[in-house]
Amino acid sequence: MRSFWFLTFTLAVAALAQDSTADDDAKKARQAAAAKLLPLIPDCGLTCLETMVLASPCSFTDLDCSCNNATIAEQVAVCVLGTCSVKQTLSTKNITEIMCGKPRRDRTHVIAYSGIGGMAVAVAAYFVRIVSKIHISSQGRTIFTELWWDDFALTLGMMFLIPLCSISVPISSPGLGRDVWTLTYHEITRTLKLLYADELLYVGSLGTVKIALLLTYLRFFSVPRFRQLVYIMIGVNVCYMLAFMLGSAFQCKPISMTWNRWDGEHKGTCVSFNGLGWTSAICNIVIDLIVIGMPMPLLWTMKLDNKKKFMVMLMFGVGFFVTVISILRLHILVSYGEAKNFTWDYVPLGYWSKLEVQAAVFCACMPAMRNLYRRFWPKITGSTRGGETTGQSGLSGRTLATSDYGGGKSVDTEVGLKTTQDETKDIRAD
């Protein structure tokens, strides 16, 4: 069968070569190139091509007709998927697209740029947060810090986020962002290995950043019931992280099946990728809504000036933006499911996942960023010096400061260090 097809096509190309019309030069060149590629097509794919072309109005020599006929393309795809192995299917698809002169799609740069660019913003926000909590006494002899558990939780989150975003470069060179049939078998396996690590880092980074935000709530609010709810949500986040990190890590038995199952040549069992991904995304959205909505009743009772209201609205606007990204990510998971061309179809999933974590870090750093701006540009932030210290907490003897609610007072939340009275006035932060 292969010999018959190859001989027929070669004779047709030779006949066309005798035609000296200048307009046919490009066509003859394509036919000659196709004749060289034809022997590389697997037998099962070649049989499907011959069967479908013979049943169509196209001739063997009319490459344009065969390539542009949607019916032939659909029938060949069904035939190849039913008779060829995964590797043979990918080879057939790749070679026929080259023969037909199909353009090579490539958006690997989207993955790399979004990962590294967003990481730079997140790292800068984290740096500003840490710097805002380092103070020098008025005499310049002593350094004080306001670092607390929320800062350490966010630091752990950054330890997840930096490798998560850095993976964007190797996972797209080449891999994610190109059609799967244009990759070598080794590149497909390598991409799946990196996606495996990517999923673990995603869950870890997102969970720890939310814990950092919840711990920040403990800095600002002293209402007992609210603090109890914060501790409960911290526990929920820890359970979420452990459950889905372990679920992702051991989704296949043996673990290597996670990146080897694509070829259908390895033995093992795996849980449903869709089930695991959808459950994780839904839980993430629910937790997002609770964490962002928790302080709303308390904030509603505060009387803040317009500048402070704008700052609060901006912070929670970023928080809700993170939730919107989570919903978009779930939509992509549901839409594509077990996508066969996963290296192309999952590109939006890749950059939305990175942006979700990057925006969450930025949101968690916004209160501290305001503190730094307040130190140098108090008029911009609308800073005041209200507030009462209530007690000590944290690693550095930090004094929490909260404000009264209601009563018609203009309320502000301030955090100071337990130093001398003059030094406290200098370094007190909203």
Q: Measured in Å, how far apart are the chain's first and last C-alpha atoms?
A: 80
Helix (H) or strand (E) holding 393: strand 388-393
Q: What is the largest CA-CA distance in the chain?
A: 99
**Residue 391: strand, helix, or coil:** strand
Which long-range contacts does 241-244 make (Cβ < 8 Å, 24+ apart)?
A: 241/203, 241/204, 241/207, 241/208, 244/203, 244/276, 244/279, 244/280, 244/283
Distance, in Å, from the CA atom of 412 to the CA atom of 399, rounded to the nearest integer, reads: 15
Distance, in Å, from the CA atom of 357 to the CA atom of 202, rounded to the nearest integer, reads: 7
Question: Is 35 in contact with 9 (CB distance < 8 Å)?
Answer: yes
- Orientation angle between helical segments 43-54 and 86-99, nearest 10 degrees: 50
Buried b or exposed e, range 65-81, using 16+ CB within 10 angstroms: ebbebeebeebbbebbe
345 labelled binding-site residue: no
DSSP 189: H
Give the residue among 240, 251, 259 at the shortest CA–CA distance from 192. Answer: 259
CA–chain centroid gap for 14, Å, is 52
Structure tokens at 60: 């063997």
Structure tokens at 384: 């005041």
Helix (H) or strand (E) holding 361: helix 347-376
Residue positions in the annotated binding site?
A: 62
What are the binding residues for heme?
62
